[in-house]
């Protein structure tokens, strides 16, 4: 099994397990802000039983990595909007927020915390069990063979901690330093690609095993919005906010893609016998395109779209995600509208 020190040394390894935020609550209950998604610097410090200054120092040293996993600092209009939507009371001019992924990222970087150490141990135990537990079924032979090869390769690269080895070689090498740096970058690229493939196959297998359709059918409208927000985060979006407010102007979730484009999402939780009406599409298209001027407008529904709604969506550039596409997205398939 991979030693936990590898998490402290390899950003690539940390990135590959950021989705396993459930380990935080299994080690210790993580209190969240009223929005149910974020925590403050003080709350992170309390969870890991360290000082606020220790957390701030960690952010200073790893800001870029933490921002990728969901850390952000709100100020001005963004802060005012967040206070209104979440109901928190604060007189500060700026507010640092950590998503659950960012908190897990902190756990993999914070060396002087017993709680963080326990999170790392639990996280790696779960990864080990996931990779070594036999699969009963059913995946096609070529897909299963690919999965096995990916597992073996990831284990080889991560288990042997190749990147730390190259770090040592680079520090002690003079003549071949440039070549070693380039080779290390190539290995990190291979490692990232293999982890991405492994996660994609895992999502597909979990979707088949658990039955995505029944799970979606049993969701409330609030649960559907949170589910879509989780899918956005899974696919690399940041600044994901679930509004769940009466005055949302038809926009339920906002986010930002990995390449910086703004995203607005409307979610409709209808039975399969109903369809999205043209009036609903008009309201959302107006809010997303005319008012907020977002780059990507997604209308996600647990049903299909009427012909009139489809026509309006095409004219206004709204991407429609119907029941079938939502099931595929939930099972792990990437959403075309976010590419």
Taking only the tens place, the pLDDT of each residue in 48-106 is 999 999 999 999 999 999 999 999 999 988 888 888 776 677 778 899 999 999 999 99
Bridge partners of 241, per DSSP, are 254
Pairwise CA distance, residues 338 & 236, whole Å: 9
For residues 141 and 239, membership in a common domain is answered with no
| Tokens standing for residue 73 | 């600092």
In this structure, is the dihedral angle defined by the CA atoms of residues 84, 89, 92 and 94, taken in order, positive or negative? Answer: negative
Residue 196 · residue 15 · CB < 8 Å = no
Q: Is residue 128 part of a domain?
A: no
Count of all residues that appear for the chain in the document: 339
* Average pLDDT along the chain: 78
Q: Which pLDDT score is estimated for 196?
A: 57
Three-class secondary structure of residue 228 per DSSP: helix
- pLDDT tens per residue, range 164-218: 665 666 555 565 666 766 776 676 666 566 655 555 555 545 544 445 566 777 7
Domain of 189, in residue numbers = 135-210
Q: Is residue 161 part of a domain?
A: yes
Q: Is residue 44 part of a domain?
A: yes
Q: How many distinct structural domains can be found in the chain?
A: 3
Pairwise CA distance, residues 43 & 209, whole Å: 36
Query: End of a domain among 184, 210, 236?
Result: 210
What CATH number should be reported for the domain holding residue 281? Answer: 3.40.1350.10
Q: In the predicted model, is pLDDT for residue 110 greater than 50?
A: yes
Q: Tell me how crowded residue 263 is: count the other CB atoms within 10 A of its CB.
A: 23
For residues 185 and 227, membership in a common domain is answered with no
Query: End of a domain among 96, 123, 150?
Result: 123
């Amino acid at each position: 099994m991979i030693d936990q020190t590898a998490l402290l040394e390899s950003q690539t390894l940390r990135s590959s397990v950021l989705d396993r935020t459930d380990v935080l609550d299994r080690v210790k209950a993580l209190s969240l802000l009223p929005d149910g998604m974020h925590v403050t610097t003080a709350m992170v410090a309390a969870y890991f039983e360290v000082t606020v200054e220790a957390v701030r120092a960690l952010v200073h040293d790893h800001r870029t990595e933490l921002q990728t996993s969901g850390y952000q600092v709100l100020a001005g209009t963004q802060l005012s909007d967040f206070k209104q939507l979440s109901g928190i009371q604060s007189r500060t001019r700026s507010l640092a927020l950590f998503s659950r992924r960012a908190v897990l990222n902190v756990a993999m970087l914070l060396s002087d915390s017993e709680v963080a150490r326990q999170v790392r141990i639990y996280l790696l135990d779960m990864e080990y069990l996931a990779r070594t537990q036999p699969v009963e079924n059913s995946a096609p032979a070529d897909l299963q063979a690919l999965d096995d090869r990916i597992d073996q390769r990831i284990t080889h690269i991560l288990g042997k901690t190749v990147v730390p080895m190259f770090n040592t070689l680079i520090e002690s090498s003079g003549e071949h330093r440039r070549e070693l740096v380039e080779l290390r970058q190539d290995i990190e690229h291979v490692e990232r690609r293999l982890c991405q493939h492994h996660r994609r196959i895992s999502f597909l297998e979990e979707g088949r095993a658990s039955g995505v359709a029944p799970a979606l059918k049993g969701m409330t409208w609030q649960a559907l919005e949170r589910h879509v927000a989780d899918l956005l985060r899974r696919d690399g979006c940041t600044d994901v906010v679930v509004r769940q407010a009466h005055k949302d102007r038809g926009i339920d979730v906002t986010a930002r893609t990995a390449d910086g484009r703004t995203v607005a999402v409307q979610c409709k939780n209808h039975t399969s016998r109903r369809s999205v009406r043209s009036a609903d599409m008009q309201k959302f298209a107006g809010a997303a395109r005319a008012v907020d001027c977002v780059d990507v407008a997604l209308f996600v529904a647990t049903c299909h779209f009427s012909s009139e709604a489809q026509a309006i969506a095409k004219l206004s550039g709204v991407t429609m995600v119907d029941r079938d596409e939502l099931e595929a997205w939930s099972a792990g398939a990437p959403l075309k509208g976010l590419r």
